[in-house]
Amino acid sequence: MLINKPAGVTSHDVVQQVRRRVGVRAAGHTGTLDPFATGLLVVLIGRATRLARFVEAKSKTYLATARLGIRTTTDDLTGVVVDTAAVMPDEPTVRETLTGFLGAQLQQPPQYSAKRVAGERSYRKARRGEPVELADVRVTVHWIELVDYAPPDLTFRTAVSAGTYIRAMARDLGDRLGVGAHLTSLHREAIGSLLVDDAVPLEQVTPSAVLPAIRVLRDMPGVDLDDAGRRDVIHGRAVVDGRAVGQRGSGVDVALLADGELIGVARSDGEWLRPSVVLETLEPG
């Protein structure tokens, strides 16, 4: 399901509502949105929960607003103010600084994050006032643009790799501008080619909003299997890659289809498609 998450609820709350309204037990989201954030949340249902890692790996597109001149403990509007500045940079400086975020880089996750430190979520340690040291992670900003600048508020749109914290970007933006900043709003517009424009509001979640599993993998190359290939995949056996040997390349994920439906995902080694996820089971007889 593609859901347009409203502000004020957690991603876990959304999943719980989906379970109740659709009547399923197995359901999970693919990428947390903070309670104040809005926008696209992908919820996988039933055996499709096995596809989570493929959705989570996709790039994300966000519309974000940062408030310059105020640093907070959480790097967003939910935290305690720790520092302020009155002088604002001009727009050309803001545009140039935003451009500096393009490309691969190391990012320090917020202390108030779900990252684990010695087996415990870092935000729990931070709430107790304990020092938290999180290792930098490598992220990629594919593109970024200034949408509006009305000091002290700055709105930007960006597409980033999985694992990128937009509130950390807001924090770092403020630091680079020398005035501090924190995130005040966040709206996820896309996950790969999945768009919030195609999502349903949470209050309109019904069984009719459930989409075919192939929808979340439509960017992935696909292979149509005959009956024999379908049986092999259901039993976890590799099937011959229909493309010329070596043409696809090794290490490529491929969606396995039968009669237009997704039955699994395989990893190509250039000659064989070896199932890594199987959604369908073989009916008795």
Residues designated catalytic: 34
User: How many other β-carbons are positioned within 10 Å of the β-carbon of residue 99?
Assistant: 12
Dig out the tokens for 251 from the structure.
Answer: 């290490």
**Helices marked H in 62-121:** 91-99
CA dihedral defined by 169, 175, 179, 180, rounded to 10 degrees?
50
Q: Can you tell me whether residue 196 is helix, strand or coil? A: helix
DSSP single-letter state for residue 136 = -
The C-alpha atoms of residue 49 and residue 190 are separated, in whole angstroms, by 19
Tokens 């009916």 identify what position?
283
Dig out the tokens for 67 from the structure.
Answer: 């408030």
Contacts of 285 (CB under 8 A, 6+ apart): none
